[in-house]
Amino acid sequence: MGIDARKIRDLINFARTNSPCHRDLYQKVPIDVSDLEMLPVTDGDEYLRQASQSSTKVLTGPFTDGSILRSGGSTNAPKTCFMTRQELTLSGILLGAAWVKAGLVVPGDRIANLYSFGGMYGGFQYMNRAIEEAPIPVVHLPLSSNCPLDQVQREIDTFQATVVMASVFHITRLANQITNSGNPARSVRTILFAGEKLSNAVAATWQAAFPSAVIRPSLYASVDSGGMSVLPQAAPDLRKQDLDIATDPVYGVLQEATVVELLADDGSVIREPGIPGHVFVTSLIRRLQPVIRYSSRTFRYLGRGSRAVKIVSSWLDLAMLKKLVGETLGTDVDGHLQCIIRHEGLASVLVFRLALLRPVNEDSVREQIDAKLRQESLSWQKSREEGRIIPLQFEWVDISRLVLLESGKLKEVLDERV
């Protein structure tokens, strides 16, 4: 199904007529445009800055019926979004139907929804609507990530849950709880995750706790963009585990809900397969708070949007740090690592808090990582030589001691400087 030019033209005209923000953004755009590529992109940071100052700058009318949603804040400050009741319901209908079409949810499933509830976070709301609006009979177990892990385990066993939906980190914590109990959750046939990339090492811990389950991503989306994509087909045989589908998924866009563009750094549209770029989203559902050629800076094709640890004058890419630490330890640290920045006297220190067993060669690990950081970052090397950054420190902890965001996701960077 191609893009409906009339629908695009109507959305653009509606936004520029009723939203002061889009009226200003499209001042130089001809009337009745139906080609998204003729529009400037919407800078997500500026858009949300205006929204935080006054919602009337971005809304197309009074907000009198609906929900206020907030992102989990895993890649930046939490973002607040406004959706009407009709928009949220339609999102649920389309997402639920897409799950069924992809074979991710089947009639009779008992679905444990472990997304974060409270704080107006949107993940639980989206999943709740999709489950409730699914076009087949299913049972919803709205537990949320706020529920103690031992209770979640009991409820899964009591009600024989067949599907678990949650963020990668919360499933990892639950898998750890179940494995330690010695009572695998054999009723679960499917694990549906979202929010971040899954590694093979983390997936292996899930398989130990859920021996009957196949693992699949549930969607590719962000609360602020409203973009939604799901796997176009789960697998020829959903009973067969195929981790490549989970760790390196190929998504299909819900064309009734979203237009997704992949743009290069210069703003040109990428049409060739396999080329990395920035994801921009146009929502065909949201009209109260239009989302048109919007970059939330949450996603990048071929990987989650980059994040960095800032210490003194060094910017250390988080993905690089994970790779470096994992290679040195000889294990995948995704979902088990927090980077903490602290002051000690007049100097700064980078602390790696790891939910792993302490290695016998900790001093050697420290020296190897520091040496690699000196190769990666000249500013790190200079600050180390000047004493502005002191030697790396490690904390080896149980996974329960890792700090979480209010959304239930792992807080990967903590700044404890006062």
Can you tell me whether residue 40 is helix, strand or coil?
coil
Structure confidence at residue 304 (pLDDT): 42
Please write the tens of the pLDDT for every residue from 97-113.
999 998 899 999 999 99
Q: Which residues have a Cβ under 8 Å from the Cβ of 77 and sit 6 or more positions away?
A: none
Q: For residue 69, which of 281, 223, 291, 299 has the smallest C-alpha distance?
A: 223
Lowest mean pLDDT among 25-39, 150-164, 221-235, 291-305: 291-305
The domain over range 308-415 is classified in CATH as 3.30.300.30:
yes
| CA pair distance 57, 54, nearest whole angstrom | 6
32-46, 120-134, 236-250: the lowest-pLDDT one:
236-250
pLDDT at 391 exceeding the cut of 90: yes
Nearest 10 degrees: Cα torsion 259, 262, 268, 269:
-60
Rounded to whole angstroms, the Cα distance separating 115 from 126 reads 10
**Does the structure show a pLDDT above 90 at 236?**
no
Q: Name the residue among 324, 307, 60 with its Cα closest to residue 196.
A: 307
Task: Kindly report, as residue ranges, where domains of CATH 3.30.300.30 are found in the chain.
Answer: 308-415
Put the strands of the sheet holding 337-344 in their side by side order: 393-396, 347-354, 337-344, 413-415
Provide CB contacts within 8 A for 312, sequence distance 6+. Answer: 348, 379, 383, 388, 389
- Name the 3-class secondary structure at 66: strand
Architecture per CATH, domain 81-304, reads as 3-Layer(aba) Sandwich (3.40)
pLDDT by residue (tens digit) across 168-200? 888 988 999 999 999 999 999 999 998 777 878
Q: Do residues 410 and 169 make contact, with C-beta atoms less than 8 angstroms apart?
A: yes
Mean of pLDDT values over 26-43: 91
Q: One-letter amino acid identity for 130?
A: A
What Rg value do the Cα atoms of the chain yield, rounded?
A: 23
- Token code pair at residue 123: 């993940």
Number of other CB atoms surrounding residue 265 within 10 Å:
8
Given the structure tokens 């389950």, which residue do they identify?
Answer: 213
Q: How far apart are CA 184 and CA 189, in angstroms?
A: 12
- CA–CA separation, 255 vs 183, rounded Å? 42
pLDDT tens string 327-386: 999 998 988 999 999 988 778 899 999 999 999 999 999 999 999 999 988 889 988 998
Whether residue 207 has pLDDT greater than 80: yes
State how far the Cα of 352 lies from the Cα of 325, in Å rounded to an integer.
Answer: 9
Quote the pLDDT of residue 362: 94
pTM above 0.85, yes or no: no
Phi/psi at 45 (nearest 5 deg)? -65, -45
Environment class of 256 (CB within 10 Å of its CB; exposed 0-12, middle 13-18, buried 19+) = middle
Distance CA 274, CA 294 (A): 22
**pLDDT value at 292 more than 70:** yes
Residue-averaged pLDDT of the chain: 87
Cα separation, 126 vs 230, whole angstroms: 14
- Are β-strands 66-70 and 80-84 bridged in parallel, bridged antiparallel, or unpaired? antiparallel
How remote is the C-alpha of 111 from its chain's centroid?
20
Note the pLDDT of residue 159: 98
Intervals of CATH 3.40.50.12780 along the chain = 81-304
Which of 235, 318, 229, 306 is closest to 265 using CA atoms?
Answer: 306
Q: Is the pLDDT of residue 225 over 50?
A: yes
The helix-helix angle for 149-158 and 168-181 (nearest 10°) equals 80
- Determine the average pLDDT of the residues in 158-176: 93
pLDDT for the residue numbered 308: 75
CB 173 within 8 A of CB 414: no
